[in-house]
């Protein structure tokens, strides 16, 4: 009875919480911020090249100082400088995180690279927290110091090329997993076979084939062709049968087929991602050009409208006179955009290609003309000469 009452109470509490959350979400969505201008300014600062350059430089300098920190002598001599650089980097990262969350507190958490920055931000404060609450003698404090090298991963969010490569790697997960599974099955088969053939304690190579775990490590060395001759020499010294055939067959299957298949899959998906990245860059350039074109058109329309309103107070009697007066004020550096077919980028591209084809055609026609002239010259040389008249012969 008490259990039934407890369950009903839980249902009432859960239903009330769900109803409260459902009421809160629409209210949160309808909430309008009153700092749109300042938020737009902060967003403009975050998206600016100067801010990105500051962040990239900060991450690079922090990586350099971290490399210096690994030397005990340099750490002792430059302790104040390293401490100041650490405080500066933490301040920069904290400001960046606060600015990004301030601009868009809801959409920020939907980006995977932003979540990576949050994880790095948490890792950044782990050594301070452990030293504060667990003391400097904490057992795993050196691990928290070591994972500070992950700070350099903040460059990923500011490098589009690196993000393209990560996307390519992510697209190969299922294919690569299939290849690695096949390689694991092959190593399992040859591991058990190698243990049975060469794992004897008396006559076999027990150090390299004594159990399945050791056999897996040996097969990995054979697959990477790293020191496989030394492993084969150990088997040859014990005169084990089928050892060379075993080694050759495994290296052919593992190294020449499966590992090359793995590399081929990575290269294919990387090329696809690079092509997609180039298409996106081309689309962004076209969008930027169109935006600039629209800005120029809008500016010119406003200028013409202003001149139309000034026509009443001006000395111009007609619109043509107004246009003539407007032409006199133009300079050769003034941007003039004509919104027609002749100024579109595809038309200009086709026009230049057509000019190239015309040049090639004219060049070929000239070559053909020279060949015709040469052939006609040869034909004239081969024609029989006309005999001279007899009267001319007698006179001579």
What are the tens digits of pLDDT across the range 119-139? 999 998 888 888 888 887 778
Helices 36-47 & 49-69, crossing angle to 10 degrees?
A: 60
pLDDT band, residue 318 (cuts 50/70/90): low
With tokens 């003034």, the residue in question is: 334
Cβ distance 235 to 205 under 8 Å? yes
Tokens of 243: 């050892």
pLDDT band of residue 315 (cuts 50, 70, 90) is low
pLDDT of residue 330: 59
Q: What is the mean pLDDT of residues 312-318?
A: 57
Domain ranges for the chain, please list them: 36-158, 172-277, 321-375
The whole-number average pLDDT for the span 157-171 is 79
Instruction: pLDDT band for 189, please (50, 70, 90 cuts).
Output: very high
Assess whether pLDDT exceeds 70 at residue 268: yes
Split at pLDDT 50, 70, 90, the class of 322 is low
pLDDT of 14 higher than 60: no
From 203, 194, 276, select the one nearest 231 (Cα to Cα). Answer: 194
The Cα diameter of the chain in Å comes to 154
pLDDT at 185: 92
pLDDT tops 50 at residue 321: yes
CATH fold of 36-158 reads: 1.20.120
Cβ contact 192:212 at 8 Å: yes
pLDDT for the residue numbered 19:
47
Residue with tokens 């111009």: 316
pLDDT for 171 beyond 90:
no
What are 199-258's pLDDT values in tens digits? 888 788 888 888 888 999 999 988 888 888 888 888 888 877 788 889 899 999 988 888
Q: What is the pLDDT of residue 91?
A: 92
User: Rounded to two decimals, what is the model's pTM?
Assistant: 0.55
Q: How far apart are the first and last CA of the chain?
A: 152
The pLDDT value given to residue 329: 61
**Are the C-beta atoms of residues 102 and 42 closer than 8 Å to each other?**
yes
Model confidence at 64: pLDDT above 70? yes
CATH topology of domain 172-277: Helix Hairpins (1.10.287)
Residue 362 scores a pLDDT above 80:
yes
């Amino acid at each position: 009875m008490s259990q039934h009452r407890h369950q009903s109470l839980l249902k009432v509490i859960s239903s009330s919480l769900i109803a409260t959350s459902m009421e809160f979400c629409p209210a949160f969505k309808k909430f309008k911020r009153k700092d749109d201008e300042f938020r737009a300014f902060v967003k403009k600062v975050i998206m600016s090249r100067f801010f990105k350059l500051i962040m990239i430089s900060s991450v690079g300098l922090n990586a350099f100082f971290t490399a210096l920190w690994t030397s005990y002598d340099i750490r002792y001599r430059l302790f104040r400088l390293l401490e100041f650089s650490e405080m500066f980097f933490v301040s920069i990262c904290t400001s960046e995180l606060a600015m990004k969350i301030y601009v868009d507190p809801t959409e920020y958490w939907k980006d995977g690279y932003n979540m990576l920055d949050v994880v790095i931000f948490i890792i950044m404060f782990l050594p301070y927290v452990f030293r504060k609450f667990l003391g400097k003698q904490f057992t795993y404090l050196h691990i928290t110091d070591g994972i500070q090298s992950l700070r350099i991963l903040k460059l990923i969010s500011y490098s589009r090329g690196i993000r393209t490569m990560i996307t390519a790697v992510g697209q190969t997960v299922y294919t690569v997993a299939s290849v690695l599974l096949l390689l694991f099955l092959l190593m399992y088969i040859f591991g058990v076979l190698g243990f049975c053939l060469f794992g004897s304690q008396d006559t076999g190579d027990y150090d390299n084939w004594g159990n399945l775990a050791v056999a897996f490590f040996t097969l990995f060395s054979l697959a990477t062709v790293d020191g496989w001759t030394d492993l084969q020499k150990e088997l040859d010294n014990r005169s084990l049968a089928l050892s060379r055939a075993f080694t050759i067959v495994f290296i052919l299957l593992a190294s020449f087929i499966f590992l090359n298949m793995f590399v081929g899959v990575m290269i294919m998906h990387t090329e696809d991602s690079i092509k997609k990245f180039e298409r996106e860059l081309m689309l962004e350039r076209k969008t930027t050009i169109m935006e600039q074109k629209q800005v120029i058109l809008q500016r010119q329309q406003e200028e013409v409208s202003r001149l139309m309103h000034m026509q009443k107070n001006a000395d111009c009697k007609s619109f043509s006179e107004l246009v003539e007066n407007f032409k006199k004020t133009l300079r050769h550096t003034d941007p003039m955009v004509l919104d027609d077919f002749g100024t579109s980028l595809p038309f200009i591209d086709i026009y230049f290609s057509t000019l190239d084809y015309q040049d090639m055609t004219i060049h070929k026609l000239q070559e053909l003309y020279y060949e015709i002239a040469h052939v006609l010259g040869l034909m004239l040389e081969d024609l029989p000469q006309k005999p001279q008249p007899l009267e001319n012969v007698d006179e001579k």
